[in-house]
Chains A and B, each alone.
Chain A
Amino acid sequence: MKERELVIVGGGPAGMAAALAARAAGVEDVLLLERDQYLGGILNQCIHPGFGLHHFKEELTGPEYADRFIRQVKEDPGIEVSLRSFTVKLTKDKELSYLRPGAFEEVKAGAVILATGCRERTREMIPIPGTRPAGVYPAGLAQKMVNLEGWLPGKRAVIIGSGDIGLIMARRLALEGIAVKAVIEIQGASRGLVRNVVQCLEDFAIPLYLRHRVRAIRGRDRVESVEIARVDGDLKDIPGTDLEIACDTVLVSVGLIPENELLEMAGAEMDRRSNTPIAPEINRTSIPGIFACGNACKVYDLADWVTRDSELAGKMAADYLGSLA
C-alpha cells in the first residue's frame, strides 16, 4: 500500500485551507481527494456575494472566494490534487480507499484530515404530513440546479425555513422571475443574517411568516399548495389560523448535517444528534492523527470562519506528524 504523509478528504474551503496551512507548517507531501470534478465545494453554487469580508477584507462571491485558494493549491508542488476521487473507506490505522475514474486506490496516511462538509437535512427529517407530490426540493439542491445547471424548479414557490440558504434562494428565484409566495419560519425571528432578510426578502416584497408552521403539502402529482398555521409559544398550532398558499414548488431549508460516514467507519466517537466528532478540542476526533475540520466538524455560517479554523487543523496535523518523526 502506498504511503502518504497527509491525506485530506474534501476540496472545499476547509480542505484547501488545511492543505495550505499544513504545507506552511512543514508537511512535505499532501494528497487532496475531491469527489467532484472541481475544487471549491459548496462555494461553487453560492454565486451570491457575502464571502471574504473577514478573511480578505473585501466582499467576494463564493466562486471568487474559492478561486483565491484554488490558485494557491494548484501552484503548490507539495499538494497533489486528485479530482473525481470518492473516498469510500477509512480505518482507525489511517488507511484510505478511494475510487477515481478507472481505478480503485488504497493509501496509508501518516495523518488524515476529513473536510467532507455537510449534507442538507431533508423533508423526511422534519415531519411534514400530506402527500408526496413532485416539486419538493432541498433548498441547496435547488441552488445547485438553478445556479450550475440553469434549470428552474417551477413558477410559484414557497420556502420552508428562513436560514441563510432559504433567504438566498428566495432572492435567487425572485430574480429568475419565479413568484416566491412566502417564506415560512416556525421561530419568532429569521435564523439568517439581517442583511439577507433585507436584501433577499424586503427588496422583493416576499412575505416572511414568522411563528408559522407548514401543516401539510398538498397536490396529486405536482405540488398544488401548502397549508400553514400560526403556532403558539409551545410551537402548537393556534386553531383558526390556517392559511392555504397555492404554489407548484416547495423548497425545504431546514438546516445542515455534517457528513461523517468515514469518521464513523474508522470507529471515532460521534455525537449522534449533531453527527459531529466528540473531542476535547476543535478539529480533533477521538482517534489521534485523524482530524475533522470545516462543516464536517461543526456547521458554520460563514466560510471565513471555516478557513480560519481549518488553517488551524492543517497546523495541528503538521504538529502531529512532527511529533511522530
Chain B
Amino acid sequence: MTCIACPQGCFLEVETDGTSVIGLSGHKCSRGAVYARQEIEAPVRTLTTSVLARGMDLKMLPVRTSGPIPKGKLAEAMDAVKRITITSPVKAGAVVATDLLGLGADLIATRSLNKL
C-alpha cells in the first residue's frame, strides 16, 4: 500500500494475518508503521469541508475535524455538517460543532469569520 502520512508517498510492503499487521517494509520513517497499522485495522481520515454562513463576511466558512474520523463515516459526517449554518463571528481554531456524530472529533474553523 502507499503511505499517505505525508506527501512523500512511500510504497509499503505490508504482511497481514487478515486483521492486523505482522510484517512491514518500505517505510522511510516511523509514521509509516503507524499508518500501515491504522490503515489495515481501522482506516481514518481528517475531513475538511466548508459550512454555510449567513450575514457574515464569508459565504462559506472552511472547517476541519480536530482529528481523523473513520473513513466509512465521511458521508454521514458531511450530512451533519450540511445541517449547520453559522450566523455569528468565529475565530480561526474555534470549535464550530462538538463531538461530531459522537466520533470524538470536533469541527474546527480553519479561518476567521467576521461581521460584514
**Given A175-B47, A175-B78, 14 extra CB contacts under 8 A:** A44-B111, A49-B64, A59-B6, A61-B64, A61-B110, A63-B62, A63-B111, A147-B50, A147-B60, A147-B62, A176-B49, A195-B2, A198-B4, A203-B45
Question: Which residues of the partner chain B approach A189 to less than 8 Å between Cβ atoms?
Answer: none
Question: Which residues of the partner chain B approach A44 to less than 8 Å between Cβ atoms?
Answer: 111
A48 CA to B48 CA in the complex, in Å? Answer: 6
Question: Which residues of the partner chain A approach B50 to less than 8 Å between Cβ atoms?
Answer: 47, 146-148, 150
Number of chain B residues close to chain A: CB under 8 A:
26
When the two chains form the complex, which single residue of B7, B47, B58, B110 contacts A50, counting CB atoms closer than 8 Å?
B7
A262 CA to B82 CA in the complex, in Å? Answer: 42
Q: Does B115 make an interface contact (CB < 8 A)?
A: no
Closest beta carbon of chain A to B104's beta carbon, Å: 18
When the two chains form the complex, which single residue of B45, B59, B60, B111 contacts A67, counting CB atoms closer than 8 Å?
B111
Closest beta carbon of chain A to B60's beta carbon, Å: 5
A222 CA to B15 CA in the complex, in Å? Answer: 49
A198 CA to B8 CA in the complex, in Å? Answer: 13
Q: Does B9 make an interface contact (CB < 8 A)?
A: yes
Question: Which residues of the partner chain A approach B45 to less than 8 Å between Cβ atoms?
Answer: 199, 203
B1 to A, closest residue via Cβ:
A198
A191 CA to B52 CA in the complex, in Å? Answer: 32
Closest beta carbon of chain A to B89's beta carbon, Å: 15
Question: Which residues of the partner chain B approach A64 to less than 8 Å between Cβ atoms?
Answer: 92, 110-111
Q: Does B38 make an interface contact (CB < 8 A)?
A: no
* Cβ contact within 8 Å between A49 and B71: no
B52 to A, closest residue via Cβ:
A150
A160 CA to B83 CA in the complex, in Å? Answer: 31
Q: Does B21 make an interface contact (CB < 8 A)?
A: no
Q: Does A75 make an interface contact (CB < 8 A)?
A: no
Question: Which residues of the partner chain B approach A141 to less than 8 Å between Cβ atoms?
Answer: none
Q: Does B87 make an interface contact (CB < 8 A)?
A: no
Q: Does B46 make an interface contact (CB < 8 A)?
A: yes
Q: Does A265 make an interface contact (CB < 8 A)?
A: no
Closest beta carbon of chain B to A59's beta carbon, Å: 8
Q: Does A193 make an interface contact (CB < 8 A)?
A: yes
* Cβ contact within 8 Å between B110 and A195: no
Question: Which residues of the partner chain A approach B7 to less than 8 Å between Cβ atoms?
Answer: 50, 53, 193, 195, 302
State the main secondary structure of chain A at its contact with B: helix
* Cβ contact within 8 Å between A203 and B71: yes
Q: Does B14 make an interface contact (CB < 8 A)?
A: no
* Cβ contact within 8 Å between B4 and A199: yes
Question: Which residues of the partner chain B approach A50 to less than 8 Å between Cβ atoms?
Answer: 7
Over the window 66-79 of chain B, the binary record of Cβ atoms lying under 8 Å from chain A Cβ atoms (1 yes, 0 no) is: 00000100110010
Q: Does A129 make an interface contact (CB < 8 A)?
A: no
A64 CA to B48 CA in the complex, in Å? Answer: 12
A5 CA to B110 CA in the complex, in Å? Answer: 34
* Cβ contact within 8 Å between B2 and A194: yes
Closest beta carbon of chain A to B101's beta carbon, Å: 15
Question: Which residues of the partner chain B approach A63 to less than 8 Å between Cβ atoms?
Answer: 62, 92, 110-111
Q: Given A64-B92, A195-B2: A49 and B46 within 8 A (CB)?
A: yes
Over the window 166-178 of chain A, the binary record of Cβ atoms lying under 8 Å from chain B Cβ atoms (1 yes, 0 no) is: 0000000001110
A-B contact pairs, 30 of them (CB 8 A): A47-B49, A47-B64, A49-B64, A53-B6, A53-B7, A61-B110, A64-B111, A67-B112, A147-B50, A147-B60, A147-B62, A148-B50, A148-B58, A149-B60, A150-B50, A150-B52, A175-B49, A175-B75, A175-B78, A176-B49, A193-B7, A194-B2, A195-B2, A195-B3, A195-B4, A198-B2, A198-B4, A203-B45, A203-B74, A302-B7
Question: Which residues of the partner chain A approach B59 to less than 8 Å between Cβ atoms?
Answer: 148-150
Closest beta carbon of chain A to B11's beta carbon, Å: 8
When the two chains form the complex, which single residue of A147, A149, A194 contacts B4, counting CB atoms closer than 8 Å?
A194
A197 CA to B59 CA in the complex, in Å? Answer: 29
Q: Given A63-B92, A150-B52, A175-B78: A193 and B9 within 8 A (CB)?
A: yes
